[in-house]
Amino acid sequence: MTHSHFSEFYKKTKVERIKALLDAKVIQIEDALLLFENPALSDQLADNMIENQLTQYSLPLGVALHFLIDNQTYQVPMVTEEPSVIAAASSAAKVIAQAGGFKTHLSERKMIGQVALKDVPNLAFALEELASHKVAILEKANDAHPSIVKRGGGADKVEFRTIPATEHSPTFLVVHVHVNVLEAMGANIVNTMMEAIASFIENLTHGKILMSILSNYATECLATATCQIPLSLLKRGEYSGEEVRDALIEASQFAYADPYRATTHNKGIMNGIDATVLATGNDWRAIEAGAHAYAAKSGQYRSLSVWEKADNGDLKGSLTLPLPIGFVGGSIGIHPTAQFSQRLLSIKSAKELESVIVSVGLAQNFAALRALVTEGIQKGHMGLQARSLAISAGASGNEIEYVATELKKQTHMNLETAVSLLNSFKQMN
């Protein structure tokens, strides 16, 4: 389950880590060379990805280990600027792997497109017209993107919603079209379809088109990860397994009830999700927007995950959120590091990537809550924070380790202390 090549992975140098991945046959020699080179995007590629390109902005890509998901092991690429995220994900995944790993459940991969109408003169007439033209609406949507239909996907369901007037807004009539986007995230596919059906819908309803675009509230593309952890694996320091389980359940209940806590609880989940979404070349704003909307689906913003007691006394966790990520499309196919991430994961489909990402979110949540209800979050965090402070103070090479280690012993860990520790190290050597 856990590769022997990966023992004490975090203590290895970058070169040793790459070699361990190579020895474990997780990556091929071409990828090892790619990692040594620290490749940047070519200027030509960068210039074609966005407008007004000036330079590039780098972030570290690391690997989280020990993920056992639906009986498969995964080495998960994560891109983040935040210390501790990858360590926490790996450590939680290790415990959960010992408990049998993550189990995932995925809905179909459908995106919703919206055509919004205003000033509809007769709502009842418009709804009747729309209902009797569902097939024609679907046909026109599919005619606008025949290649997705040829691949086995396309628009397959139409729904209508009326958004009643409020003191700040008039009544809107909204046509929802569900589109099976197969291996893509689907934004462009859906937008093309919605723009293509807009005038037909306008003619049917005698209303005025306000806009035609996909919704990022991807409630037809949901991913769930669950895990069940026995008390023996929850024991931590002076805390018994039972104490950790009960405290985690209370932490989960608190995040369900209090939006101030739920926001931070969900931020911790997104620490893992965003990092993998980014590493695989996906649109993390789309995932963020959908996740937070889903967290507010009851009318109150709540936690995305739930931790509870299983019938046999184990701790049971589950996380559900919309995960409309792509395996193809957008910049995924042209970004060399996104391509590397797919090879590192050794995934073959968007669904498999969804399973990995939702599991990373649950692992991250478990790690954060376990730390919060036991030793506190700062202990782990400050270790890496100390290294950042040491570097900010001007330390390099072996000075970083010395300054970081000494900083962790101080009551006030700040830049001033880091500078003075660095100065005394320089005087000693």
Any idea which residues carry the catalytic annotation? 82, 267, 283, 381
Query: Does residue 330 touch ligand NDP according to CB under 6 A?
Result: yes
CA 165 to chain centre: 35
Q: 374 and 239 in contact (C-beta within 8 Å)?
A: yes
- Give the one residue of 76, 180, 183, 307 binding ligand NDP; rule: CB under 6 A: 183
82 burial via Cβ count (<10 Å: 0-12, 13-18, 19+):
middle
Between the CA atoms of 203, 205, 209 and 213, what dihedral angle is there, to the nearest 10 degrees? Answer: -100
Only one of the segments 175-183, 242-250, 261-269, 312-320 lies at the binding site for ligand NDP (rule: CB under 6 A); that segment is: 175-183
Binding mask 37-76 for ligand NDP (x = CB under 6 A): ----------------------------------------
Could you tell me the smallest distance in angstroms from the CB atom of residue 373 to ligand NDP?
36
Query: Does residue 283 touch ligand NDP according to CB under 6 A?
Result: yes
Q: Which residue has the tokens 């023996």?
A: 232
Rounded Cα–Cα distance for residues 370 and 390 (Å):
28
Query: Does residue 147 touch ligand NDP according to CB under 6 A?
Result: yes
| Residues 6+ away with beta carbon under 8 Å from 155 | 113, 137, 138, 141, 142, 177, 178, 179, 180, 193
Q: 255 and 265 in contact (C-beta within 8 Å)?
A: yes
Query: Does residue 323 touch ligand NDP according to CB under 6 A?
Result: no
- Give the one residue of 95, 182, 193, 386 binding ligand NDP; rule: CB under 6 A: 182
Only one of the segments 56-64, 326-334, 351-359, 395-403 lies at the binding site for ligand NDP (rule: CB under 6 A); that segment is: 326-334
Q: 78 and 86 in contact (C-beta within 8 Å)?
A: yes
Could you tell me the smallest distance in angstroms from the CB atom of residue 276 to ligand NDP?
16
Q: What is the CA radius of gyration of the chain?
A: 25
Instruction: Select 149 or 231, whichever has its Cβ closest to ligand NDP.
Output: 149
Query: Does residue 186 touch ligand NDP according to CB under 6 A?
Result: yes
Give the number of other Cβ atoms within 10 Å of residue 412's Cβ.
7
CA 414 to chain centre: 31
Only one of the segments 47-55, 186-194, 270-278, 400-408 lies at the binding site for ligand NDP (rule: CB under 6 A); that segment is: 186-194
Only one of the segments 79-87, 199-207, 242-250, 324-332 lies at the binding site for ligand NDP (rule: CB under 6 A); that segment is: 324-332
Could you tell me the smallest distance in angstroms from the CB atom of residue 200 to ligand NDP?
21
Instruction: Select 107 or 162, whichever has its Cβ closest to ligand NDP.
Output: 107
Walk across the sheet containing 154-163 and list its strands: 154-163, 172-180, 110-118, 208-215
Query: Does residue 220 touch ligand NDP according to CB under 6 A?
Result: no
Instruction: Select 186 or 272, whichever has its Cβ closest to ligand NDP.
Output: 186
Between the CA atoms of 225, 230, 231 and 236, what dihedral angle is there, to the nearest 10 degrees? Answer: -60
Q: 204 and 141 in contact (C-beta within 8 Å)?
A: no
Instruction: Select 114 or 359, whichever has its Cβ closest to ligand NDP.
Output: 114
Element of type H or E holding 427: helix 415-428
Query: Does residue 348 touch ligand NDP according to CB under 6 A?
Result: no
Q: Which residue has the tokens 């937070």?
A: 292
Query: Does residue 112 touch ligand NDP according to CB under 6 A?
Result: no
Could you tell me the smallest distance in angstroms from the CB atom of residue 340 to ligand NDP?
18
Residues that bind ligand NDP (CB under 6 A): 147-148, 151, 181-189, 191, 214, 216, 283, 286, 326, 328-330
